[in-house]
Structure 1
């Protein structure tokens, strides 16, 4: 059939979720609640139809109080060209002219490169995004800790205390950007100062955690000198190790393991069913620390962004 028979449109409401889910993804079960809570809106869920058949779909995620979405996280295509057209059409309707598109983030299997069929699906989605000007920002490892996995006892090299206030966490977040291995932060630093990047990260993520900030910890030497910090938290879906970092002057001493263990202990004491965490494929020290702490790499993510 010819492409003229294609229809590109947003869904009309929750009653069309069955249509939207004719193509599948592991997060499909979250869509109804996301729509009910305002994290998604019908006008942010788009479909490409040939007759009544779904041939591509895209969905953005955001926050109820914000007018534009924060993230593109659903994008499934049966044909690269149709997927690219759907994305181009939907983006023009959803975003104000001149707005930089939100990043694309997609959960994929750990072994996605090893299976030809899976690799083809991932690469087709990436190709459709590249036709719309996106480029690969990072591949990330997703980790999970489960109850019953031992947590390392304190080694008494560091002292842990609560974060004093917002200014302190912003100061620490600014300082750790020096030499960071995180691709998102490095990308931010091409557009803004370290302080601006820290504020943006805080406002986009940490400020929205549902859990008490009393859980956050600064790690110090016995004399009170800050070494790093960790923000164990609950996001909209899971308990998480939200941000963990060591200050540049203290890297290379193994403190990352002590700080991760402290964050894990805080969440484990809350009887959580799991703890989720993630780090870039290229951040080998952080990935190794998660593995040594008993976290299992159960998925990966692909993140793409626009200039």
Structure 2
């Protein structure tokens, strides 16, 4: 059990199939990954398991564990044992002692529960995580809009203006946590105030995007009262709807459709090849809004946490 030595061992690391394999070379080149964060468990030349963390370019701290794979041809008990030993060894050597490990993220096919091999593969990996003390947090739906689809229409009821003050945006973010269906937001509220949670979300994620903040929009009624906001962005891989929300006082009026239409339009005008988004599987209203806007589900994501 050891980290890879560098780019020259990417072929070894990539012997186990996964959706992120194609991104690994560029991630190493841009500093999103480091060889010392990419671990393998070997028996001779056979790759039994692997694990890797991701972070933002230039960061010295792993942000998310997004690769954990097993050799599915190895009998299940031995495979799980190898995965657990690798993950425990890698965490001890890679992560700062005394703090919870970063969240785990697993991309899954949209029908993974209905396909026996996919289901077994996913459940094996989650079992390894659970052995180390992780617990399920949420499953998310991943969606995509493509330019060949028509732009979603608007009702014309709302006006849109750019976000000119980060403080105003953070205040709105704190307000929308009231009654949120987002599992990450609900988890944050068990540990901190809405303002603290909003500030953390802004500083740790939204402020880190290198795409223009001129794309961000606050929606208002004709009299200027804020109704919600939508934050189109680019995460270094794809154009995305980074955050979309309606204020509690204005929910249930269909405003999310206009917000999503505006965010999609902003990105479509940049001639992006696709716009991606995600929402919790349990957030049915938001998932339906994406579908009305022409977004198609192409996969899922399972998040687990040690906190």
**TM-score calculated relative to the size of structure 2:** 0.96
1:127-276 aligned at under 5 Å gives the runs: 127-276=127-276
Q: How does 1:11-22 map to 2 (within 5 A)?
A: 11-22=4-15
Displacement of 1:122 in angstroms is: 0.3
Q: Give the corresponding residue for 2:280.
A: 280
Q: CA offsets, 1:136-175, max 9 Å, x none? A: 1010000000002112333111111111211011111111
SS in 1 for 2:114: coil
**8 Å contact 1:44–1:59 — kept in the other structure?**
yes
Of 213-222 and 203-212, more deviation after overlay is shown by 203-212
**CA deviation after TM superposition for structure 1 residue 215, in Å:** 0.6
How many angstroms does 1:179 deviate by?
A: 0.7
1:215-254 deviations in whole A, cap 9, x for unaligned? Answer: 1000011111100000011111000000000001111111
User: Residue by residue, what CA displacement relative to the aligned partner does 1:1-22 show, whole Å, maximum 9, x if unpaired?
Assistant: xxxxxxx100011100011011
Aligned counterpart in structure 1 of residue 44 of structure 2, from 34, 44, 51: 51
Moved more, 127-136 or 161-170: 161-170
The answer to which of 228-237 and 57-66 deviates more is 57-66
1:44-75 deviation per Cα after TM superposition (whole angstroms, max 9, x unaligned):
00000011110000000012332210000011
Q: Is 1:125 aligned with 2:125?
A: yes
How far is the alpha carbon of 1:192 from its aligned partner?
Answer: 1.2
For 2:256 and 2:40, locate their aligned partners in 1 and report how far apart those are by CA, in whole Å: 44
1:184 & 1:262 partners in 2: Cα distance?
A: 25
Match of 1:69 in 2: 62
Provide the residue aligned with 1:93 in structure 2. Answer: 93
* Aligned mates of 1:63, 1:216 — CA distance in 2: 21
Is 1:68–1:94's contact at 8 Å kept on the other side of the alignment? no
Q: How far apart, CA to CA, are the structure 1 residues paired with 2:194 and 2:91?
A: 30
Across the aligned residues of Structure 1 and Structure 2, the Cα RMSD in angstroms comes to 0.9
Q: Which runs of 5+ in 1 are unaligned?
A: 1-7
**Shift of residue 210, structure 1, vs aligned partner:** 2.1
What secondary structure, in the 3-state scheme, does the structure 1 residue paired with 2:227 have?
strand
1:10 aligns with 2:27: no
Q: 1:25 aligns with which of 18, 21, 46?
A: 18
- Match of 1:178, SS state, is coil
Unpaired runs of 5+ residues, structure 2, are 72-78
**Aligned 8 A contact 2:154 2:257 in 1:** no
Matches of 1:219 and 1:201, distance apart in 2: 20
1:275 is displaced (CA, Å) by 0.1
